[in-house]
Amino acid sequence: MKSEYDPKNIEERWQKFWAENKIFEAKDNSDKPKYYALIEFPYPSGDGLHVGHPRPYIGMDVIARKRRMQGYNVLYPIGWDAFGLPTENYAIKTGKDPKVVTKENSDNFRRQIQSLGISFDWSKEINTTDPKYYKWTQWLFLKFLEHGLAYKAKMAINWCPKDKIGLANEEVVDGKCERCGTEVEKKDKEQWMLKITDYAEKLLHGLDTVDYPERVKAQQRNWIGRSEGALIKFDDIEVFTTRPDTIFGATFIVLAGKEDRFTGRFVINPATKEKIPVWEAEYVLPEYGTGAIMAVPASDERDRAFAEKHGLPIVENYQEAGFENFGKKVVKYKLRDWIFSRQRYWGEPIPIIHCASCGAVPVPEADLPVLLPEVSNYQPTDTGESPLALIEAWVNTKCPKCGGEAKRETDTMPNWAGSSWYFLRYVDDKNDSEFASKEKLKHWMPVDWYNGGMEHTTLHLLYSRFWNKFLFDIGLVPTSEPYQKRTSHGLILASDGVKMSKSLGNVINPDLIVDRFGADTLRLYEMFMGPFEQAIAWNEDSLVGTRKFLERVWRLKDKITTDSSVEPKYEMHHAIKKVSGDIESMGFNTAVSALMIYANALEKHDKVTQEEYEALLKLLSPFAPHAAEELWNGLGHKESILLSPWPEADESKLSPKEVTIAVTINGKVRASFKIGSEANEEELRTTALSLIEVQKWLSGGEPKRVIVVPGKIVNIVV
């Protein structure tokens, strides 16, 4: 082992050792308890990783490595969420096949991630664009269809004229496409839908059974938007209201519309028996309730503003009793069914064949997967149809039911499809006969700890919970909730505090950092730079400090003594307890700080026991695994440090045997003394007053006051 720390000499070598010895591979037949750690699998963009991407990978890697040392059989898998618009838009721009682009991108991502020593089980690698994977995405869609949860409906969709794609409500922000910022238009289109609304109550109740941050649960509940209220008929218009008691103050009806407009119609208020006008306005949302409200301007600010603008009546004092005669109690949700169609090429083909005689016919399981055909033009059509619609040889087929002429569905699935069940495929990724075996699902599910970005805690989390709950209801998975614990990480921002973006030119390639400082320095810095759940700005100057810390740990090996009379100091037990606890709360920055404090303490001692040094290496290994492995091996250990047990703190040795007590007189330190850490206040007071340095200030008299802070200081006022 070299005397100087040189990451280039050790990191690739240990990565090769881990791979060859399959250190990170989960075992399906193990006597150890299972632990399933999961990150949101990445989209492999052409730009490769920037330094913000590895933060969640490293964070969960710390957890996974600790669990292995705690005796768990750990599944920590990785894959690629590779269907979607960015790759397709690149294909449109360059004419390059999306399959080729996806392979190039994922190959680069894999190389970069492996260079960081993340302990992913690469034997479980999946890719949503692999026909062996999307065969089962298609199969699962057919299960939704079989159970009445997939249907086709003509509806007004959000249409992005630039991307030429239909958008879910969730993908429209302030009336604009969240991807490109173009103003969204409304367009009537037949779309495949998934009936997620049937699972609204189950999705709500399930939140009470899982360990999610309260803000995540609140986002889920708000998106589902459960409201208890009443349905009331005003002639042929039915409105939903959470305040049926205000019906006597309702002076007009408002339907969802694009502008303020009087329809020319009147209806009867069933409570007052008066004719009231029917208007249209943009402030009424078509997706909430029935898309119609009874306006009570005396009780609602928006209704009042509308009434004053258009000269409509306002009844300030109205009756609030007797409304029960008109209210039919119901529960409504803000949640809408999930639009499951995209008129694009780069997605999973929807496995449906349309027959003039038989209608929409599922593709037989034996014929799955329905493969994406080769195309020369990836550009969406101006009519709004998918590019697949232009490939007649692929579209024209035979009906599986009657054998007659038929046409394939040309819509593809949305980019959320493959990510809604990938956590299930990881447990049995090579299975060709089913999406995953019940035996393996029973062993590994649910996911014990799932970490991802806050931007995905609403939609992805909701959609994947919905898929899992449906599969649970039909007996295909063993647990109703897929994730037992969910946490989120903050972004790493550019040095000026703005988001890293290629367009802004502020992206930092981790390859450059690894080459200059080493992977362990990058890993350690990303965990140390600030609270894991908060956004934090990148500061390359701080990398120097973490690199120097690793160099100090490296030099500490020269202090190891074989003298059996030297016992480990209390600092070891304190560090074990602090680092262990902080990892569990994802307090990675304070865990690294505790490691630095421990190393400082060891540096102050003339001799360090091997037990103390090995404890430091074990605690360090989840954060800086290459250096820890090299130093561990240098101590004579033949097996990986990952196969050694995680250290345990001895509670009885968490305090020093002796402490130094400062003595102040009238606020100034005049003396100090050492005493047993268990000394009580009276012992501390007596000892302080007996000191020669103190006696000369007392001049034979008594002090006015003595204040004792156990374990720290004695304050004497004379």
Q: Is the peptide bond before 369 cis (omega within 30 degrees of 0)?
A: yes
d(CA 468, CA 714): 62
Please give the pLDDT value at position 208: 97
Does domain 518-653 fall into CATH 1.10.730.10? yes
Query: 712 with 661: CB under 8 angstroms?
Result: yes
DSSP state of 571: H
Q: Residues 22, 400: contact at Cβ < 8 Å?
A: no
CATH class, domain 226-333, is: alpha beta
* C-beta atoms surrounding 355 within 10 Å: 19
Backbone angles phi, psi at 577, to 5 degrees: -65, -45
What pLDDT was estimated at residue 324? 83
| pLDDT score of 565 | 79
Alpha-carbon distance of 196 to 201, in angstroms, equals 10
Is residue 55 within 8 A of residue 16, CB to CB? The reply is no
Give the DSSP H or E segment for 358. none
Tell the burial category of 585 from Cβ atoms under 10 Å away from its Cβ (0-12, 13-18, 19+): exposed
Tokens of 529: 């730079």
Closest CA to 167 of 343, 411, 42: 343
Output the 3-class SS for 588-651.
HHHHHHHHHHHHHHHHHCCCEEHHHHHHHHHHHCCCCHHHHHHHHHHCCCCCCHHHCCCCCCCH
Write the burial class of residue 615 (CB in 10 Å: 0-12 exposed, 13-18 middle, 19+ buried): buried
Q: Which burial class, exposed, middle or buried, applies to 54 when counting CB atoms under 10 A from its CB (0-12, 13-18, 19+)?
A: buried
Whole-number pLDDT of residue 2? 58
Site of tokens 């008594």:
702
Choose which CATH entry (1.20.120.850, 3.30.450.40, 3.30.530.20, 3.10.20.590) describes domain 658-717.
3.10.20.590
The answer, yes or no, to whether the previous bond of 244 is cis (omega within 30 of 0) is no
Contacts of 392 (CB under 8 A, 6+ apart): none
- The size of the chain, in residues, is 718
For residue 609, which of 572, 643, 575 has the smallest C-alpha distance?
572
Q: What is the pLDDT of residue 708?
A: 94
Looking at residue 1, what is its pLDDT? 58
- Regions of the chain where pLDDT drops below 50: none
What is the distance between the alpha carbons of residues 336 and 564, in angstroms, rounded to a whole number? Answer: 70
Return the exposure string of 394-406: e unless at least 16 CB atoms fall within 10 Å of the residue's CB, then b.
bbebebbeeeeeb
Q: Could you tell me which of 447, 507, 518, 522 has the C-alpha nearest to residue 477? A: 447
The number of beta carbons lying within 10 Å of the beta carbon of residue 68 is: 24
DSSP collapsed to 3 states, 380-422: CCCCCCCHHHHCHHHHEEECCCCCCEEEECCCECCCCCHHHCH
- Cα separation, 293 vs 285, whole angstroms: 9
Rounded Cα distance, 181 and 160, in Å:
9
Q: What is the pLDDT of residues 351-371, one digit of tens each?
A: 999 999 999 999 999 999 999
Secondary structure of residue 502 in the 3-state scheme: helix
**What gap in Å lies between CA 467 and CA 689, rounded to an integer?**
73
One-letter amino acid for residue 194 of the chain = L
DSSP strands (E only) in 269-413: 275-281, 292-295, 328-333, 338-339, 352-355, 359-362, 396-398, 405-408
Of 78, 73, 76, the C-alpha closest to 28 is: 73
The predicted model scores a pTM of 0.87
Q: Per residue in 157-213, pLDDT tens?
A: 788 888 877 776 767 888 899 878 999 988 888 899 999 999 999 999 999 999 999
Q: Is 535 helix (H, G, I), strand (E, B) or coil?
A: coil
Residue in the structure block whose two tokens are 């502008």? 259
Joined together, the tokens standing for residue 602 give: 């060891």
User: How many alpha carbons fall within 13 Å on the CB side of residue 593?
Assistant: 11
366 Cβ contact list (under 8 Å, min separation 6): none
DSSP type of residue 537: E
H-run or E-run covering 266: strand 261-268
Are 226-333 and 658-717 equal in CATH topology? no
- Nearest C-alpha neighbor of 523 from the set 18, 113, 204, 54: 54
Q: Quick one: tokens of 556?
A: 């500490």
> What's residue 15's pLDDT?
98
- Say how far apart CA 536 and CA 540 lie, in whole Å: 12
Mention every residue, 6+ apart, whose C-beta is less than 8 A from residue 416: 459, 460, 463
**Alpha carbons 616 and 557: distance in angstroms, whole number:** 11
- The CA distance from 685 to 547, in Å, is 45
Tell me the β-bridge partners of 262: 279
In eight-state DSSP terms, residue 374 is P
From CA 443, how far away is CA 21, in angstroms rounded?
24
- Round to whole Å and give the CA distance between 221 and 203: 9
Q: How far is CA 259 from CA 279, 304, 698, in A?
A: 10, 17, 88
3-state SS of 30-88 is: CCCCEEEEEECCCCCCCCCCCCCCHHHHHHHHHHHHHHHHCCCEEECEEEECCCCHHHH
| Angstrom distances, CA of residue 712 to CA of 575, 577, 657 | 20, 22, 14
Among 387, 385, 352, residue whose Cα is nearest residue 370: 352
Q: Which helix (H) or strand (E) holds 103?
A: helix 98-114
What are the residue ranges spanned by the domains of the chain? 226-333, 518-653, 658-717
Beta bridge partners of 453: 489
